[in-house]
Structure 1
Amino acid sequence: MENRKPTGVGNVAINLINHMSILSDSIVIWTIDSTFLKPQNNSIVKVLQGKKSFFKNNISVIRAVWDQLVFPGLVKKSNIDVVFFPVQEGMLFSRVPQVVLLIDMAPLLNPGGVPYMRQLSYMTRVPFVLANSSAIITISQSVKQEILLKYPSIDENKIKVVHLGYDCTRFYELPTSDSILMRYGLKDLKYILYVGSICENKNIRNIIKSYMISDCADWNLVIAGNVLDYNYYCELKCFVSANNLGEKIKFIDYVGYDDLPALYRGSSLFIFPSFYEGFGLPILEAMACGVPVVTSSRHAMPEVAGDAAFLVDPDCVDKIAVAIKEVLTNNDVRNALVTKGLKRVLDFSWEKSAHQVLKICEEAMKESNPQ
């Protein structure tokens, strides 16, 4: 993890490590950057030395060299028993068992907005990393099947599915904070909310088009997230401007983790019809805050949402628009989704996820050192 605002994979790693650190006092968790870690037992989280002196920015080639030449030496020197990588960038050759977390297969299945170097990594480096791993963790049955489809030589028994959790201490039903909403210009505003990265894969253009024809002019549309594809972001802004929607559609940059629950709670509907997700954590966050969800019928999203969301074809603008109007104007539909959502999130927790990851790591260690 780099010393920057965490999103996506970074938040997953932070939550897993923080919760793993309190499950057992017989483990030591090593990391290369503890900036955002807040374990209850700080004494068992240690920082590997050597990384920051090797490179000062996130250049892919330099990072790959560090992963393969420097990090293995640090592992050996530190007498580490098993290495858990919360990203797919593991070691090509390792003398200790390694467990790799593969979040999704977007670079191969839905590359829109995915940097070319990441796509190249999935075609060249990732297959070797997975082959050299004692276990591969992924976050949905959907992604597991995609891994087997694209890497058929991988042993299916090595792939373990661990669903993500959500932070139940932050995301829950509660009257929203007017002060936070005021800071974002949302106080006293009825709005539909999207939370996630700004890139083509997230299907934001179709969200906007659906909003335009949904006949829900009483609501605004709020698009909150960090920009991954600046050209795509500019296209969206131009489209909004060309259709004179600047007063109705609001773009918000990166929202702090402490502020995010307030934005969910203040919304009338959470919309997330992504083209591809390995999981779709915002679905759970919105549900936990008592907000009805409209999401995609593809890939892992139905697996996460169950029957607690309104599922739509992400390519069909008309159907997304119908879903928006139905949830916003039909109280029976809305209330049913909220009730089901609050029940659905009870199946997910970071404690449960961390326990499963820790067990997989312990099994990998035992298999490499049978007593």
Structure 2
Amino acid sequence: MRLLISGWFLQHPATGTGQYAWEILRHLPQARPSWTVGVAVPEGWAGPLPEGVEPVRIRLPRLPSDFQKLWFEQIALPGAAARWRAERLFVPYWAPPLRAPAPTIVTVHDLIPLRFPEYRATFAARLYTALVTAATPGAAHILTDSEASRRDLLQRFRLPPERVTAVPLGVSERFTPRPDPVGDARARNRYDLPPAYVLYLGGFDRRKNIETLLAVYTWAQDAIGENFPLVIAGRLPEGSSRLFVDPRPLARAWGIEAVVRTIGPVAEEDKPALYRGASAFLYPSRYEGFGLPVLEAMACGVPVVASEIPALVELVGDAAYLIPPEDARGMAGALIAVLVDSTLGQTLRERGLRRAAAFTWVACARRTAEILEGAGPV
């Protein structure tokens, strides 16, 4: 079979969608060695590709960045599929073309733009959301990351259940509890990490619930702040807005600046070391399609305190301490318990490692290949 995959997000490897696209590209040729796998990428992109994947380069017109992406997805990608004689077109994020020359399979990781109005506040965002929403029912099959997201999709689009499949993501082999003395020391020095800390690694958009993340330390700082400061990793926004929350002004206003450290963006190769060095991982998100950072933390043997939301309940089972996302006081109590009760902390480490071992990119690619094979015209 000739399979063409949209590679737009390979330009953004630090995003969850970029990681998903890369891992699927890496493992699909192994799952189906007889397939010819191509990936459509903008002409100027010169990044590496996994072995067995053929680049299909697309020249982009001079347009604003938002409209470049739209042109790539709706016009250039179907055209490339036709020229390349693709038998299946796979879009590993929520952007199916309205029309395509081959059955299209799309992965809808979550329905954030539909559930949260602030994500479609601009005209361009509303236009894009309306377009992909209209195109989605025309896909031959829809993949999503969790049963929680599958329920959202079935409710919103009223699709036949047999055309929507939850295929859990995997965790890279890089995320392991085994120490890497050189890499761990390099990361500790590069980010000036304290001897012990609680880690948050993720985004700063509103659904990530940065207010509760910081509010936890207004309750917990006297008990654990000095010994376990909160390290916040990720590219910080330039001030708070309707869509993003800058944690620094809140930390100052709430009197916890001394126990909160922001370290900015983290290189992909340093993430396992940051997890391994943490005494706990704190993740109070209000909504997730899956929760990849939680899985990465568990795979590194870090006890997790996170929000009790459907996708995370499904992901962690009994391997994390879950608290309702708006209950900062309850989350503070859970975090303190994990840090001071060595038996509880060790139990969560062991359960997390066992749970994370069940999520592999090999299994994700094999199940994805089965769906791609079976998907025919709508």
TM-score by length of 2: 0.89
Residue 3 of structure 2 is matched in structure 1 by none
SS in 1 for 2:269: coil
- What percent of counterpart residues are identical? 29
SS in 1 for 2:318: coil
Matching of residue 135 in structure 1 with residue 141 in structure 2: yes
Q: List structure 1 segments (4+ residues) > 6 angstroms apart after TM superposition.
A: none
Structure-2 change in CA distance of 1:13 and 1:35 (3 Å): farther
Q: Give the distance between the partners of 1:141 and 1:35, measured in 2 at CA.
A: 36
Determine which of 96, 121, 127 is the counterpart of 2:102. 96
Deviates more, 1:214-223 or 1:306-315: 214-223
Contact 1:112/1:201, CA 8 A, preserved across alignment:
no
Instruction: State the one-letter code of the partner of 2:228.
Output: W
Residue 283 of structure 1 is matched in structure 2 by 294
Residue 121 of structure 1 is matched in structure 2 by 128
TM-score by length of 1: 0.90
Matching of residue 156 in structure 1 with residue 167 in structure 2: no
SS in 2 for 1:247: helix
Structure-2 change in CA distance of 1:47 and 1:228 (3 Å): farther
How many equivalent pairs are there?
Answer: 358
Q: Give the distance between the partners of 2:289 and 2:259, measured in 1 at CA.
A: 31
Q: Give the distance between the partners of 1:115 and 1:259, measured in 2 at CA.
A: 34
Determine which of 188, 209, 229 is the counterpart of 1:181. 188
Q: Give the distance between the partners of 1:358 and 1:229, measured in 2 at CA.
A: 41
SS in 2 for 1:32: strand
Matching of residue 25 in structure 1 with residue 30 in structure 2: no
Determine which of 334, 354, 358 is the counterpart of 2:365. 354
Q: Give the distance between the partners of 2:125 and 2:238, measured in 1 at CA.
A: 14
Residue 14 of structure 1 is matched in structure 2 by 22
Please list, as runs of the form range in 1=range in 2, the aligned pairs for 1:205-220 lying within 5 A after superposition.
Answer: 205-214=211-220, 215-217=223-225, 218-220=227-229
**How large is the Cα RMSD of the aligned pairs?**
2.1
Contact 1:193/1:222, CA 8 A, preserved across alignment:
yes
Instruction: State the one-letter code of the partner of 2:355.
Output: R
Residue 233 of structure 2 is matched in structure 1 by 224
Deviates more, 1:297-306 or 1:224-233: 224-233
Distance apart, 1:229 and its partner CA: 7.2
Residue 342 of structure 1 is matched in structure 2 by 353
Q: Give the distance between the partners of 1:115 and 1:30, measured in 2 at CA.
A: 35
Q: Give the distance between the partners of 1:258 and 1:19, measured in 2 at CA.
A: 20
SS in 1 for 2:310: coil
Residue 192 of structure 1 is matched in structure 2 by 198
Q: Give the distance between the partners of 2:96 and 2:48, measured in 1 at CA.
A: 20
Q: Give the distance between the partners of 1:20 and 1:9, measured in 2 at CA.
A: 16
Contact 1:211/1:324, CA 8 A, preserved across alignment:
no
Matching of residue 321 in structure 1 with residue 335 in structure 2: no
Structure-2 change in CA distance of 1:150 and 1:306 (3 Å): same
Q: Give the distance between the partners of 1:250 and 1:57, measured in 2 at CA.
A: 36
Q: Give the distance between the partners of 1:11 and 1:35, measured in 2 at CA.
A: 17
Structure-2 change in CA distance of 1:96 and 1:279 (3 Å): same
Contact 2:32/2:369, CA 8 A, preserved across alignment:
no
Q: Show structure 2 runs of 5+ residues with no match.
A: 1-7
Structure-2 change in CA distance of 1:114 and 1:191 (3 Å): farther
Deviates more, 1:222-231 or 1:90-99: 222-231
Contact 1:199/1:229, CA 8 A, preserved across alignment:
no
Contact 2:282/2:305, CA 8 A, preserved across alignment:
yes
Structure-2 change in CA distance of 1:16 and 1:332 (3 Å): same
Residue 278 of structure 2 is matched in structure 1 by 267
Structure-2 change in CA distance of 1:195 and 1:341 (3 Å): same
Q: Give the distance between the partners of 2:252 and 2:187, measured in 1 at CA.
A: 27
Structure-2 change in CA distance of 1:26 and 1:77 (3 Å): same
1:105-139 per-residue CA deviation (whole Å, 9 max, x = no partner) reads 111123455664445433x2223322211100000
SS in 2 for 1:223: strand
Instruction: State the one-letter code of the partner of 2:40.
Output: I
Contact 1:21/1:29, CA 8 A, preserved across alignment:
yes
1:38-80 per-residue CA deviation (whole Å, 9 max, x = no partner) reads 42x2xx31222333x4247632x33223322232222111111
Please list, as runs of the form range in 1=range in 2, the aligned pairs for 1:65-84 lying within 5 A after superposition.
Answer: 65-84=71-90
Residue 297 of structure 1 is matched in structure 2 by 308
Contact 1:191/1:222, CA 8 A, preserved across alignment:
yes
Residue 332 of structure 1 is matched in structure 2 by 343
SS in 1 for 2:165: strand
Contact 2:137/2:157, CA 8 A, preserved across alignment:
no
Instruction: State the one-letter code of the partner of 1:30.
Output: G
Q: Show structure 1 runs of 5+ residues with no match.
A: none
SS in 2 for 1:136: strand
